[in-house]
């Protein structure tokens, strides 16, 4: 019998309830993402760079950063569009946006702003943005077609969309290896709906194409992007805490016995030590680079 919860909270209930639960989740977990920001940015940097290169922001443009988190990509977009342009970051997590604003002020990037909102439903000014971007922040819409349609309306005619999202978990050892370590203790996770909001909801290229087409977007291009991602170094205890805090699928039930938690940590520690190199831990990643036009 599996000791895991029956599945992510966002796989039950009406869509409005799903959106509310997602908001509560990201605000509750936001401080942990702030704490682990540097490690996460190291892991995701090359993926964001590839998606920004496809977007090709130009001086003076207004760009929307969807699911911007602690603002790393928003700040980079602000630098690329220059003082005559503007980068707007949107995220449901207030703690992460507090960190994003702090970093923007520290970097003296006045051409940034941050909005606490669900980008899939927020009332953006119509036809305002020249381009929209997301680094792993666009897979959580409760209603994907409506969410992407909302983004299309926020783009000027011909405006560009570029994002990067994960392919299937099976193609991403950064999630499967620690997940397997946890499964040694908790048992395999229960089956889940692959299309439910979550990090792998856009794992299938045909689903992405169908959603974007139905949302009215044009010139859709979906390109596979495979690369190693650097989880980084640090002590085994630091890396165990990172996985316990953030890894999808590694959630330990709140009522788990302390001995069960200790066994989970030991299994993760063994995985960390097995994969450790002088340069830290590097695991495989598989993503889609997606672009389209309004």
243 in a structural domain: no
- The whole domain housing 21 covers 9-168+194-228+285-293
Cα(275)–Cα(244) distance, integer angstroms: 17
Note the pLDDT of residue 254.
Answer: 64
CATH of the domain at 149: 3.40.50.150
Q: In what order do the strands lie in the sheet with 281-293?
A: 112-116, 86-91, 62-66, 129-135, 155-166, 281-293, 218-232
249 in a structural domain: no
Cα(259)–Cα(45) distance, integer angstroms: 36
Query: pLDDT 10s digit of each residue in the chain, 294 long?
Result: 233 333 443 344 445 566 777 788 778 888 989 999 999 999 999 999 999 999 999 999 999 999 999 999 999 999 999 999 999 999 999 999 999 999 999 999 999 999 999 999 999 999 999 999 999 999 999 999 999 999 999 999 999 999 999 999 999 999 999 989 988 998 887 777 888 888 999 999 999 999 999 999 999 999 999 999 999 999 999 999 999 888 654 466 667 788 888 999 999 999 999 999 998 999 999 999 999 999
Cα(156)–Cα(159) distance, integer angstroms: 5
Note the pLDDT of residue 6.
Answer: 34
Count of domains for the chain: 1
268 in a structural domain: no
178 in a structural domain: no
């Amino acid at each position: 019998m599996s000791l895991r919860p029956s599945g992510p909270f966002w796989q039950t209930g009406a869509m409005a309830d799903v959106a509310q639960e997602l908001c509560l989740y990201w605000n509750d977990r936001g401080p942990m993402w702030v704490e682990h920001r540097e490690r996460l940015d190291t892991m995701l940097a090359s993926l964001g760079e590839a998606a920004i290169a496809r977007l090709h922001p130009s001086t003076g443009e207004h760009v929307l950063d969807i699911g911007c988190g602690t603002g790393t990509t928003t700040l980079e977009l602000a630098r690329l569009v220059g003082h005559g342009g503007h980068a707007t970051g949107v995220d449901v997590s207030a703690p992460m946006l507090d960190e994003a604003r702090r970093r923007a002020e520290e970097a003296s990037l006045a051409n940034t702003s941050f909005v606490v909102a669900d980008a899939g439903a927020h009332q953006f000014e119509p036809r305002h943005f020249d381009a929209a971007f997301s680094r792993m922040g666009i897979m959580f819409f409760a209603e994907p077609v409506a969410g992407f349609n909302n983004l299309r309306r926020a783009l000027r005619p011909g405006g560009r969309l570029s994002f990067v999202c994960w392919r299937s978990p099976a193609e991403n050892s950064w999630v499967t290896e620690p997940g397997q370590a946890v499964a040694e203790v908790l048992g395999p996770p229960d089956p889940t709906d692959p299309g439910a909001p979550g990090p792998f909801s856009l794992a299938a290229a045909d689903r992405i194409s169908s959603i974007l087409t139905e949302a009215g977007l044009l010139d859709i291009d979906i390109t596979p992007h495979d690369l190693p991602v650097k989880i980084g170094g640090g002590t085994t205890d630091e890396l165990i805490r990172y996985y316990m805090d953030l890894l999808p699928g590694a959630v330990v039930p709140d009522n788990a016995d302390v001995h069960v938690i200790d066994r989970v940590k030991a299994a993760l520690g063994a995985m960390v030590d097995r994969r450790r190199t002088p340069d830290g831990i590097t695991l495989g990643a598989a993503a889609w680079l997606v672009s389209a036009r309004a």
